[in-house]
Structure 1
């Protein structure tokens, strides 16, 4: 096993500094070197970068900066040196000639190049370094993009490659793909081609930028940034460099021509409009006369920025309504290709991309699974090209290509001749992929428990209303929320109570987790607003009682409960985690009780949990008064703060002893299951049926309300914010009781419910709910 006790990054530009930040995220001390004070500048930029590259701002203390010449000798202390200087071969070779002097046995040296050959970079180095040299291409920003492409050179020792891959996977939480030493490797080769295909089809079919964005984002199984948002994020200069790298290094003139620089991109680059790094590219963020941020889009005809427009197309609307995931949406657009120009555009982009990916199979990567993983992890595609081939039907797609006069790629034609009609095969939850004439088994790792696989193997205990209780093995069950948009409604709450009853009778413990993008974004706001506008107060009261009963069932369950959230874990989502004995956060968990943002307060035990947590903190610190720890939680809830990572939940006050953050998301459910078994082995203490919480009472409520008044006068709260925060203060402190009074759990539940109901009747709160449903944003009224 290769252990990195200390690492170094050479080059403090955006890429190098971000890599250093992610090493710091993983707890690895890092030396950031550059010339003439540039390392200090790079470190300073990290502090202001949005979204933040660090899980916790305190982690920046793990990075030490230095001068390449003055501090060169310190490289001898490092186990891993990552070169991340500018993407110019001569510059990189100059750095590597110096690193050759610093190399020592056991040290790995890598280049974070996006497409240059490691053999050419390390050509002048000695045998020792060349055997431990490779590309480790971190996709930027490293915190948020999962992919690391590892590319060995001709002389690279196999054990070094495997050690680096294992370290990147297990310590840095990365998805590692081994690529061949070809121009732009895998993800940038396919990704750049797909972007070029969209640009060409846009011109052919006369689409606007906004229309192109509408059909190359989620409807195509790609991120919200779609085509032009992605180009702006990458940087147009970087994109042109990627195109040039392929164009100048592939032997096929037709392929080289396909990577010709698009004239529109060149025009913007010549003006210095490079995308986000320069303040604008295809999109520019501006401030309106009212001080509101707005995004304007480039009009290529006039080269002026104009208001954005919504794409209108029957085919697009049909695609959005399709229920079969990405394949269903794409199929709806393909079916409309003869009568709808957006459909014709999508047909060209999809066909071009699928053909190119299949043609590159065996050249840029050995197997389809490597290419698919690279595109999912590096470009955030929901499905890689070969997964999309399968979803659309390999034979059906080949027939469509032939009908359009397009050649079927040789690997696909050879596969179909053998009677094989899919790149992947799933047998009872075991996955196989097609390679060189036969199917190969995708090795399962015991530490990677997949709920999808467990479901395929018939391990569902029950399923209802967008939830499933699944057998994880060893008599541990997992409750998975699978509701659309991750909103948690009455059906999900009923499943919580049913799961608690089932686990108490037959199982050793319960895990709360899912594999969707978000754990839970809160209650069903549309249902809640409808009931409030109709004055159905009894229905809202019943909904809150059911939520509280669900939370109580989890807290009282005489079996260990471990929550393993990821993504947005807000409002009700957070409240369902808080009764757990332990929370194992994914690194990218955005956790918080944010109900005040829509003019409400937590009413599913969130206030109860916060009051109890503050009292526990006071007891641990030997404090008679819990005002100080409660104030921190009050501010987080009153200001609707949401953590920027799993680690950041600690800053907001939600962290408890035993909670942890898991760097590698694939092991989250396995670790949660093990935590359940560990809690049981230690001798699990059955929770008391009706706990009492010593609350702050009138005295602490007065302190919190003074803080609200100060924030109101300072302009940090509106009058309605202050009204909501005042009710929150009363609930958190137990109502009108003396300080230190031990109130019942039910008493705090009642206070939560009464305050919630009264706020639901407020017109300003209803306006906030409507605004959130219409725009997805908060209204400060």
Structure 2
């Protein structure tokens, strides 16, 4: 059903509307982007002699919105060229064209009258069967459509994207009272598979799920802050990663959202709920109103709770002193509970450490957490049917690592409720009844499946078979073999999955050994191998700490052995008798890329940032990355008369500047993906898609690749690359050490000092990689770069 949406219309070309159209373009869906007709000419239009009747004027708003897309950061497009899939227009001249689309999305101003008027116009041109939705963040779906016809209402619903649409996973789908359930199901399936979203079904209540809970949490944080006398910096220290929340915490989040926007969202609940206690929380504070009146509305205005000051020595972030209403340099809070949270591993342990403390910061965290948990529980049945939907909404929409009910379980449901009641906090009756029935948590795991509290009993979490969970399979005893760095897991149908689980999924000897063992195991007992994991990132590269220690101790035989093991493992993976499919996601860097390059096929999550970044730590790729990419260039240009130099020059630039793709589409543009490799929109389905790709290779009668010769550009090509690097050094773009690295890289990519057009073996190229890598490891400036990366998490340019 998801495939039936092939064309769309987006009405409203503000940042949100244009970004939704951009994401539709990302997934291959062309759209109309319509806005109102301007009522006056700009000075530039007058100078050109245009009139209000000219199409360029009438389409100005949508056209201008398209023109701005490339400048938006982070980019709403996978590739700027995809904007060609969006056709600008205006509501007066082009609304009739919606009869030819499958989905119409309203993204105009958050005003009920404006939305009702637009829907009336849409219905005049509407063709039965076309889905119409509103991207409202909180206005009633039923109120919007109350004057529309019965058939129109059956096809109308809310589809609330979170901003920015490309990056935020949450999609709240809000059925109206007359919406056809089949339409809801269709849009949920489409949003998940085609758009890559995580879908929750919300009730038609003010601000729906995520904004209702999230706004409440922010407002009670402000109240507790004011009551207890905490500073902006203190609150953000508590409500960030220490509490399983993003680094933006409370006030950086508010600055990013915009205080004017936040006040509008809060007012939406304040004006529409009847409960006096709830209204009191959602009434924007005098502080917020004062800041909006001053224009201190956040990042877009240059000042909010924080203000960036640019000086001669660089930028400085000042925070607002709420007592004086002046900006000053903040003080970094410190306490035993904050230090304990920092030292703990994982969101559950961090939160337990913070709340388990006995200082004012743990007290602050407890007050905020207590109020948010109780409110979330009180809203079950009103804003959502299940605790699972609330938890997913907060994780996907506000980037919480734990949803409210998962957090409640983490800190101890029974113990925390006892504390709440001892402090006089009213806990919802259903929670107390749940505990009285002998239950000690909202969620429970049994034999790899998860159940959650629902109407007095546990209800199984629905897990479509296409969403393969390696974690669940391991709990079901499907591990074939395992060591400290990786596991081989039976994912069914004769396919085994190799999962990395070392710290940061960094590649060390344990992972390399497991790769070799996996190839042997699959050769004997399985049909195919996939390489995938469920970590935050697929793989950030090799174990840099180990490498640096060996280099500093001048244990060159050890370094040589590490590189040989990596190269030999990748060659064994490449020449596996059974097909291998890699499924990278998110950060896939250095050695992570080199693990993917030997695979027969790559299924890459659309939001994958992929690149050979070794130059950033003073090295070059030596796990086969240089060899594999020069081989691909050679195979793609089998005619010896074709000049390989432009292709090798591009590789030289990409690797030498440690270029990382901004998306899977960009990885293809950079030459890292082949025509046979696939881009997968939803990370939830990535392992399934990799498995299916592997089975297709099996069914096609897979044959392992033999040894292949590589045509190289040789000494002449090396001279070209070295000349380019020298020009960059003379222009001040790179340092002397960068030039040294570039010259080593040029030597490898050129195939050494051989005549242009020479055919060399893969092992010959691997030897060049290893020699260059070893020589760079001995350079003091390379060791400085490695140490800086480990300490600071960013590259040093020395």
Same fold? TM cut 0.5: yes
Residue by residue, what CA displacement relative to the aligned partner does 1:380-399 show, whole Å, maximum 9, x if unpaired?
Answer: 11111111122222212211
Using the size of structure 1 for normalisation, the TM-score is 0.96
User: Does 2:672 correspond to 1:671?
Assistant: no
Q: Equivalents in 1 of 2:307, 2:544: separation in Å?
A: 32
Q: Equivalents in 2 of 1:274, 1:719: separation in Å?
A: 45
Given that 1:470 and 1:479 are in contact with CA atoms closer than 8 Å, whether structure 2 keeps it comes out as yes
Q: Equivalents in 1 of 2:169, 2:211: separation in Å?
A: 14
Residue by residue, what CA displacement relative to the aligned partner does 1:320-344 show, whole Å, maximum 9, x if unpaired?
Answer: 2224x222111111221xx311111
The equivalent residue for 2:12 is 11
Given that 1:697 and 1:740 are in contact with CA atoms closer than 8 Å, whether structure 2 keeps it comes out as yes
Given that 2:611 and 2:659 are in contact with CA atoms closer than 8 Å, whether structure 1 keeps it comes out as yes
SS in 2 for 1:641: coil
Q: Equivalents in 2 of 1:39, 1:623: separation in Å?
A: 48
Superposition deviation, residue 584 in structure 1 = 0.7
Given that 1:617 and 1:629 are in contact with CA atoms closer than 8 Å, whether structure 2 keeps it comes out as no
Task: Select 1:658's aligned residue among 676, 679, 694.
Answer: 676
Task: Select 2:348's aligned residue among 319, 327, 348.
Answer: 327
The equivalent residue for 1:588 is 607
Q: Which moved more, 1:601-610 or 1:257-266?
A: 257-266
Superposition deviation, residue 358 in structure 1 = 0.6
Q: Equivalents in 2 of 1:80, 1:133: separation in Å?
A: 10
User: Does 2:725 correspond to 1:708?
Assistant: yes
Check 1:53–1:408 CA distance in 2 against 1; reply closer, same or farther (3 A cut): same
Residue by residue, what CA displacement relative to the aligned partner does 1:549-586 show, whole Å, maximum 9, x if unpaired?
Answer: 22122112111110000010000111111110011110
The equivalent residue for 2:217 is 194
Residue by residue, what CA displacement relative to the aligned partner does 1:686-724 show, whole Å, maximum 9, x if unpaired?
Answer: 222x43322211011111122212333343322222221
Superposition deviation, residue 227 in structure 1 = 1.3
User: Does 2:722 correspond to 1:721?
Assistant: no
Q: Which moved more, 1:187-196 or 1:494-503?
A: 494-503
Q: Equivalents in 2 of 1:385, 1:92: separation in Å?
A: 33
Q: Equivalents in 2 of 1:335, 1:5: separation in Å?
A: 52
The equivalent residue for 2:388 is 369
The equivalent residue for 1:647 is 665
Task: Select 2:751's aligned residue among 734, 744, 748.
Answer: 734
The equivalent residue for 1:28 is 29
The equivalent residue for 1:207 is 230
The equivalent residue for 1:76 is 99
Q: Equivalents in 1 of 2:445, 2:659: separation in Å?
A: 43
Task: Select 2:549's aligned residue among 514, 530, 551.
Answer: 530
Given that 1:618 and 1:629 are in contact with CA atoms closer than 8 Å, whether structure 2 keeps it comes out as no
The equivalent residue for 1:453 is 472
* Counterpart mapping for 1:243-642 below 5 A: 243-290=266-313, 292-307=314-329, 309-323=331-345, 325-336=346-357, 339-619=358-638, 624-642=642-660
Residue by residue, what CA displacement relative to the aligned partner does 1:98-157 show, whole Å, maximum 9, x if unpaired?
Answer: 112121100111111100001111223222222211111100111111111111112222
Q: Which moved more, 1:88-97 or 1:591-600?
A: 88-97
Q: Equivalents in 2 of 1:644, 1:263: separation in Å?
A: 42
SS in 1 for 2:488: strand
Superposition deviation, residue 513 in structure 1 = 0.6
The equivalent residue for 1:236 is 259
Check 1:287–1:715 CA distance in 2 against 1; reply closer, same or farther (3 A cut): farther
Check 1:764–1:288 CA distance in 2 against 1; reply closer, same or farther (3 A cut): farther
The equivalent residue for 1:59 is 82
Q: Equivalents in 2 of 1:48, 1:437: separation in Å?
A: 51
Q: Equivalents in 2 of 1:276, 1:459: separation in Å?
A: 49
Check 1:398–1:709 CA distance in 2 against 1; reply closer, same or farther (3 A cut): same
Q: Equivalents in 1 of 2:598, 2:774: separation in Å?
A: 23
User: Does 2:152 correspond to 1:134?
Assistant: no
SS in 2 for 1:755: helix
SS in 2 for 1:461: strand
Given that 1:9 and 1:81 are in contact with CA atoms closer than 8 Å, whether structure 2 keeps it comes out as yes
Q: Equivalents in 2 of 1:160, 1:765: separation in Å?
A: 58
Residue by residue, what CA displacement relative to the aligned partner does 1:413-464 show, whole Å, maximum 9, x if unpaired?
Answer: 1211222222222221122222112222222312111101111111011221
The equivalent residue for 2:142 is 119
Superposition deviation, residue 308 in structure 1 = 5.0
Given that 2:583 and 2:604 are in contact with CA atoms closer than 8 Å, whether structure 1 keeps it comes out as yes
Q: Which moved more, 1:538-547 or 1:16-25?
A: 538-547
Residue by residue, what CA displacement relative to the aligned partner does 1:253-287 show, whole Å, maximum 9, x if unpaired?
Answer: 00111112133333332222222333342234454
Superposition deviation, residue 528 in structure 1 = 2.4
Q: Equivalents in 2 of 1:367, 1:279: separation in Å?
A: 40
Given that 1:522 and 1:573 are in contact with CA atoms closer than 8 Å, whether structure 2 keeps it comes out as yes
Given that 1:15 and 1:140 are in contact with CA atoms closer than 8 Å, whether structure 2 keeps it comes out as yes
Superposition deviation, residue 596 in structure 1 = 0.7
Q: Equivalents in 1 of 2:315, 2:708: separation in Å?
A: 48
Q: Equivalents in 2 of 1:205, 1:696: separation in Å?
A: 70
Given that 2:452 and 2:461 are in contact with CA atoms closer than 8 Å, whether structure 1 keeps it comes out as yes
Q: Equivalents in 1 of 2:576, 2:311: separation in Å?
A: 53
Q: Which moved more, 1:674-683 or 1:744-753?
A: 744-753
Task: Select 1:680's aligned residue among 698, 709, 713.
Answer: 698
Q: Which moved more, 1:663-672 or 1:569-578?
A: 663-672
The equivalent residue for 1:758 is 775
Given that 2:483 and 2:514 are in contact with CA atoms closer than 8 Å, whether structure 1 keeps it comes out as yes
Superposition deviation, residue 64 in structure 1 = 0.9
Q: Equivalents in 1 of 2:302, 2:145: separation in Å?
A: 36
Residue by residue, what CA displacement relative to the aligned partner does 1:644-682 show, whole Å, maximum 9, x if unpaired?
Answer: 011110121111131010012111111111111111111
Check 1:267–1:538 CA distance in 2 against 1; reply closer, same or farther (3 A cut): farther
Q: Compute the RMSD of aligned alpha carbons.
A: 1.8
Q: Equivalents in 2 of 1:233, 1:158: separation in Å?
A: 36
Q: Equivalents in 2 of 1:310, 1:445: separation in Å?
A: 46
Q: Equivalents in 2 of 1:622, 1:83: separation in Å?
A: 55
Superposition deviation, residue 15 in structure 1 = 0.9
Q: Equivalents in 2 of 1:354, 1:163: separation in Å?
A: 32
Superposition deviation, residue 186 in structure 1 = 0.3
Q: Equivalents in 2 of 1:767, 1:287: separation in Å?
A: 29
Q: Equivalents in 1 of 2:229, 2:791: separation in Å?
A: 30
Residue by residue, what CA displacement relative to the aligned partner does 1:515-552 show, whole Å, maximum 9, x if unpaired?
Answer: 11100111222232233333332322222222212212
Q: Equivalents in 2 of 1:244, 1:562: separation in Å?
A: 51
Given that 2:640 and 2:757 are in contact with CA atoms closer than 8 Å, whether structure 1 keeps it comes out as no
Q: Equivalents in 1 of 2:212, 2:785: separation in Å?
A: 45
Q: Equivalents in 2 of 1:712, 1:411: separation in Å?
A: 69
Superposition deviation, residue 490 in structure 1 = 2.4
Using the size of structure 2 for normalisation, the TM-score is 0.94
Task: Select 2:240's aligned residue among 217, 238, 244.
Answer: 217
Given that 1:633 and 1:654 are in contact with CA atoms closer than 8 Å, whether structure 2 keeps it comes out as no
SS in 2 for 1:148: strand
Superposition deviation, residue 304 in structure 1 = 4.1
Check 1:296–1:715 CA distance in 2 against 1; reply closer, same or farther (3 A cut): farther
SS in 2 for 1:562: strand
Check 1:295–1:600 CA distance in 2 against 1; reply closer, same or farther (3 A cut): farther
* Counterpart mapping for 1:147-158 below 5 A: 147-158=170-181
Q: Equivalents in 2 of 1:285, 1:485: separation in Å?
A: 32
Superposition deviation, residue 623 in structure 1 = 5.1
User: Does 2:75 correspond to 1:48?
Assistant: no
